[in-house]
Amino acid sequence: MAHPKRKTSKARRNKRRSHHGITEVTLAECTNCGAVHKYHHVCMECGYYRGRQVLNVSK
């Protein structure tokens, strides 16, 4: 089995993990009711997605 010849330094290890950070969720405004929802998700306030009603939401 292969073994590392040298210990990986903390700097090298952390450079490799620089892309692992959590990004903020992108939000969009519903064109039908104006509520804020996640991109590419149905608006839970009115049930619309891309101009069409896909859920029946009772208020």
pLDDT tens sequence across 43-52: 999 999 999 9
Q: Is residue 9 part of a domain?
A: no
Contact assessment for residue 57 and residue 33, using Cβ atoms and an 8 Å cutoff: no
Quick one: pLDDT band at residue 30, thresholds 50, 70, 90?
Answer: very high
Contact assessment for residue 57 and residue 45, using Cβ atoms and an 8 Å cutoff: yes
Positive or negative, the CA dihedral 34, 37, 41, 44 is: negative
pLDDT at 58: 79
| Domain span including residue 34 | 25-59
Q: Is residue 55 part of a domain?
A: yes
> Would the pLDDT of 37 be above 70?
yes
Between CA 14 and CA 26 the distance in angstroms is 26
pLDDT at 59: 62
Q: Is residue 17 part of a domain?
A: no
Q: Is residue 4 part of a domain?
A: no
